[in-house]
Structure 1
Amino acid sequence: MTMQQEARKAVSFRTLIKFFIPLGISASLVTISHVIINSTLARSSDPVVVIASYSVAMSLFAIFERCAVILRQTCATLVRDKHSFRLVSRLAVSLLAAILGLSLIIGYSPLGNLFFAEVLGVKAHMLEPTLAVYRVLMFVTIFSGIRCLYHGVIISNLRTKWLTIGMVVRLIVMALLAYILLKFNLVNHGYIGAYIFLVGMVIEALVSVVEGHQLVKKMPDKKVDHPIVHRSQVMKFYLPLLIASLIAVSISPATNAVLGSSGKAEIAIASYAIAFSILNLLVSVSSYTHQVVINFYEKDAKAVTRFAFIFSLVPSVLLIAIAYSPIGIWGFENIMGVSGELLDQSILALKFFIVFAICFPWLDFINGVLMLKGQTKVLSYSQAGNVLMTFIALFTLIFFLPNGGGLIGSLAQSIGILTETVIAFIFLSIYLKKSGKTLKSL
């Protein structure tokens, strides 16, 4: 028996489950942290202003956090010894310092007023509350980057249970803090939600650092067969992922802008938002499929492919159950408090997300193979294709279905991710053909 055959035999379905399930749970739990914050802010004396200021500041925070979150994939893929960890750590320090510097300029200079007023369209009376929120959120980005750096180490060492532990501890602390703030009637500004978020992120980052640091200490100084030796190799991997993520940022505001110009704009935006929140909850379970590929695909491609196929069914099956059965109606009415026309439009929008739910796990699978082979530049091309087709679909649908409601957004995004999946698969096939390989032979 060859070494390759022994490696393949070692990767059992149980091993994959043990690695993947904690990742899927932690991804799903992320949505609960935002539920805690929004539910807390909704109980303030002026919830409209408080929630609006928090939401607008979050839109800028999301852009910077994307840059930090990519450190997780970068570290998980490239770090195998102390030398490669130092290379990625230096990138992390430079990146987070740049983000903090730019955030300080936005938060404490006239540039911030100009950006929020002119770019995001914030009204004069909302500028100061929004800036107050962002002045807290910018520190959340820093701790998010730190936790993602050490998440990469934890994932590559197959200690994924610590991601779930960190998230659970974070949620408990956030819930307790929210309870105390409400009990003493201190929820009166949007920045209260930002402080809850910051405390939770600090806790999660602390758990990640404690576990991740112990794993780094056990690594060899320089692994003989590990090819990552220069900073340029790290940048070559990271920058395409960064570009792809920044390209994707444009989809959400464009969708909301188009829906805002449709008939019954409030219903359209709300139904799309509700359907998208449910979709996010369902597909979040599959959002770490690329990590399974990165860590196990070269050991046993068939086992990983079978595993991906089984779990790829989960989001679409659950979505069908919610959108096409009485279960969904009951959940919308009794859990989310949605009824009437908004209920009908939300379910309709959810139905058009079925293509998204089918494609997402396989896109993450293909992206995992591309990352494994260092072909991260392809992600920029496929993401650009997604954005282009989403924009085309949005403007086409709003022209032919001006009263289409939330389904305009869900159908357009489904078309976009289908395009992205096809482009990524084509590029992967071309790369493998040039390398004289197939998916099975990797």
Structure 2
Amino acid sequence: MHLYAISIVSSKSSLIWIGTVFGFITTFLLALLFFLLGFEGYELGMSAFTYSLVLETLLILFLVRKFILDLSSKFVKDIFFVGDLFKFFIPLLFAAFIPAFTMPAVNACLTRLDNPEVSISAVNVGFGIFGAVSFTINGCQSTILSLISNGYNYFKIKSFSYFVGFFTLFLCSLIAWINPINNLIFSGLFSLEGELFESTLIVFRMLSFLPPFLVMEQLYVGIIMNSKSTNPIIYINICRFIVLIITLASGILIFKNFESYGAIVGGSAWSITLFFEAIFAWIFARKIKKPNIKQS
């Protein structure tokens, strides 16, 4: 992430595409290689992911090497101290911990329900497919923050961000509700069958409405970070955690007589939590003065 940040501030965002595409292709090729070498299951997946990540890091390090060693770059801001950075990043570290805890918390809940293997697999695979389809959203926050800090028109940034969100919503809706497409992806590509197929599709459908709200969350968190006061991010994630616990507890009680019980509990926990995270981001950012803007 540090190397990608260097490429952004150096106005070389095309390097992000090079690194990301290289990482994707490398993961696929390494997975094929390890399969031919006799690797199976989690060993194949973890090996391909780990080695591709190392190679991607080395590639982006090579691509930005000139900017790392560029001694002519100077800060135009006032001199800051380590303590200032510490105060800025502590809320971000806390904010990173709670989202990272979400999947283990959901999985821990699902292990106590019927057919935990199917439930956990469905939630993880469904969320993984959703993440792959909504990859366009992943770079929104860093892009938004970079554009805001460089003085671009806030309303144009907002419009473009929501365009990305609704375009991704369109893609997710096609996959979620058009049978030939979801059969091709879930059954043909991922070889899901029977109950696992049905449960995974339920999870994906529960997540499919989220892209505009994910963009909304990244937009308002970008505004908060641009204000140099990251404490609201702590409050957003505390509220997110509370919603997660309430959703899991209520889901266990409400959906216990439904088919695909575990998938509904896990999928609803993820979708409702991420939805309210966007709402909380808007609540805490709405009173922050929008950045001074200039026409791009």
* TM-score bin (small chain): 0.7 to 0.9
Q: How much has 1:354 moved relative to structure 2?
A: 3.4
Which of residues 55, 63, 77 in structure 2 aligns to 1:226? 77
Q: Output one character per residue of 1:229-269: Cα deviation in whole Å (capped at 9) or x when no partner.
A: 32122222222111111122221111112222223333322
Task: State the alpha-carbon separation in 1 of the partners of residues 172 and 30 from structure 2.
Answer: 33
Contact 2:119–2:263 at 8 Å: present in 1 too? yes
Q: How much has 1:206 moved relative to structure 2?
A: 2.0
Q: How much has 1:439 moved relative to structure 2?
A: 6.6
**Letter of the structure 2 residue corresponding to residue 409 of structure 1:** G
After superposition, where does 1:9-28 map in structure 2 within 5 Å? Answer: none
1:358 maps to 212
Contact 1:385–1:423 at 8 Å: present in 2 too? yes
**Aligned-pair RMSD on alpha carbons?**
2.6
DSSP-derived class of the 1:291 partner: helix
Change (3 A) 1:306 1:182: closer
Contact 1:385–1:416 at 8 Å: present in 2 too? no
After superposition, where does 1:395-434 map in structure 2 within 5 Å? Answer: 395-402=249-256, 403=258, 404-432=261-289
1:315 aligns with 2:179: no
Contact 1:323–1:347 at 8 Å: present in 2 too? yes
Which of residues 223, 228, 232 in structure 2 aligns to 1:369? 223
Q: How much has 1:321 moved relative to structure 2?
A: 1.1
After superposition, where does 1:43-442 map in structure 2 within 5 Å? Answer: 148-174=1-27, 177-185=30-38, 187=39, 194=46, 196-218=48-70, 220=72, 222-223=74-75, 225-227=76-78, 229-297=80-148, 298-326=151-179, 327-402=181-256, 403=258, 404-432=261-289, 438=290
Task: State the alpha-carbon separation in 2 of the partners of residues 192 and 166 from structure 1.
Answer: 22
Change (3 A) 1:259 1:165: same
**Letter of the structure 2 residue corresponding to residue 212 of structure 1:** V
Percent identity (aligned): 19
Q: How much has 1:382 moved relative to structure 2?
A: 0.7
Q: Output one character per residue of 1:335-359: Cα deviation in whole Å (capped at 9) or x when no partner.
A: 2212223222222222221343331
Q: How many pairs were matched up? A: 288
Q: Which has the larger radius of gyration?
A: 1
Structure with more helix by fraction: 1
**Letter of the structure 2 residue corresponding to residue 211 of structure 1:** L
Contact 2:186–2:197 at 8 Å: present in 1 too? yes
Contact 1:289–1:364 at 8 Å: present in 2 too? yes
**Letter of the structure 2 residue corresponding to residue 244 of structure 1:** A
Contact 2:161–2:219 at 8 Å: present in 1 too? yes
Contact 1:350–1:410 at 8 Å: present in 2 too? yes
TM-score (norm: length of structure 1):
0.59
TM-score (norm: length of structure 2):
0.86
Task: State the alpha-carbon separation in 2 of the partners of residues 396 and 217 from structure 1.
Answer: 54
DSSP-derived class of the 2:287 partner: helix
Change (3 A) 1:296 1:208: same
Contact 1:302–1:440 at 8 Å: present in 2 too? no
Structure 2: gaps (5+ residues): none
Change (3 A) 1:316 1:184: closer
Structure 1: gaps (5+ residues): 1-147, 433-437
Contact 1:378–1:427 at 8 Å: present in 2 too? yes
